[in-house]
Structure 1
Amino acid sequence: MQQAIAILDSGVGGLTVAKEVMRQLPMENILYFGDTARAPYGPRDSEEVLEFTRQIVDYLLQFGPKMIVIACNTATAIALHKIRSMVSIPVVGVIYPGARAAIKSTRNGTIGVIGTENTIRSGAYQQALQSINPSIRVVSLACPRLVPLVENRMFRSEEAKLVVEQSLRPMRQSDMDCLILGCTHYPYLSEAISDVVGPDVSLISSADETAREISAILYHRGQLAENGDLPVHRFFCSGNTGLFQAIAQEWLGEEMKISPVVWQMTRL
């Protein structure tokens, strides 16, 4: 069996990245871990997020992946550089790909960013955007109520529409022309988000650009999957497997088995 691309997230959000990787790289094996028992990461202490990310990476390394994708903006902001120093395989985050996609999209140079408390507090998107183009103006907003909607499979509910409207109300007066969905859970809510910010604001998900980066790195390393057997995708989660499977099948549109992983729930 060919080596897999390992993708990790605090829960189901990273499935938005996994879906795009499957679309762009249909021959690749995917190894996915969603830490649903400990989601969301956004309000957690930074040291705790780092420790959880390290635990998941250690778990995934036993399967011998050729790359690790931290498909969680909070974990990318806090743990990316540390994880890169720990392993010998490439580690890709989702913040710089999202920043690049936004800079390609913006026409007036004002870019909005919504994300978890930790992601927004870190300033990671502002740093990424302005490292590419210092003249970019960034308008940021933490939206802590959105991730639980997705993790509880409520992203198509009337309550979700109301919570999105309430959460994004401060952004309505902004002159941004594109909005980075700075959490991989947020694309599940893209219809409701678009209704609030209006049709003139482009929504930017990091999934497409992240998949392109994965493809470029694997091509450069001569590690793209070759034609042969159909890909094998494996999914793990640390919490409710039934709920995770229902969300995964709805989002990815295919049958799958979800393997539970039991974690000892300890605080640092």
Structure 2
Amino acid sequence: MAGLLSRIRARVERLGFRALYRLADLTYALGVATPKRTVAGTYWSYEPTNPHGDDPGLAALDRLPNDAVIFDAGAHAGEHAIPLARDTDRRVIAFEPNGESADRLARNTERNGVGSRVDLRRVGLGDASATLTFYRSTFSKCSAFDRESATRWGASVAGTESVPVRRLDDLVEGAGDGRSDEVDPVPPPDAFKVDVEGHEAAALRGATETLAAHRPLLVVEVHEAGAAGGDSPEETASDSGPTDLREWLDARGYAVEEADDVWICRPRDSAPPEA
């Protein structure tokens, strides 16, 4: 009986996700934008739902000054980037390797009139500069650099594309030494939000120099999936699980505050902003 109930529950979840993503396709096709109320303010989006409206990570980011520079890795359709930029002087650098999501982010950015403050970069972030195969999922938010993540919840791979991946240290002004003249540098961050479907540790590894030099606030959505990491948590953050990632952050002077599946990580050498 328990096995039967589990299968029924899984099927209902798959049907629910399929209906949700078909609805999103429809709202974008018809141009139906609705207001989304969040802890960082209200904005307009063609997305049919508002999954991050009360997100504690979004709330922590919104406590930053109105002229802060925020990096948003895994920006999707702008659920964090747009409310953080709207009605402020903040600059948000949005990294989104999924072409469909990047197109939707651009459209939502235009709808809210924040194109001058949201800088869209159609690249992934990792611990090495490369061009990798990206798996586009039928459930767009599941799209990832590995097939397993792209086929969660009953989704399937809709197609593949080659996507550039960069170390953040090679993009930030005055950080790494691997930046190409073809890449526009980005200013040092006050905060770095990471939600990259199981590859959070790799993205953070590629930002090691930036974290050491600029001590940004980190907001990390933790997933279990991902590629294998390095030799030890003292040297590298293994993508094998949250324990290794926590040890890696601790070794670099970051205190982790858990809020559901979001980690709010502050450098121990700075006080948290006042509410």
Band of TM-score, shorter chain: 0.3 to 0.5
From the two aligned structures, give the one with the greater strand fraction.
Answer: 2
Using structure 2 for the length normalisation, give the TM-score: 0.32
Using structure 1 for the length normalisation, give the TM-score: 0.33
Kindly indicate whether structure 1 or structure 2 has the higher relative contact order, using CA contacts under 8 Å at least 6 residues apart: 1
From the two aligned structures, give the one with the greater helix fraction.
Answer: 1
Larger radius of gyration: 2
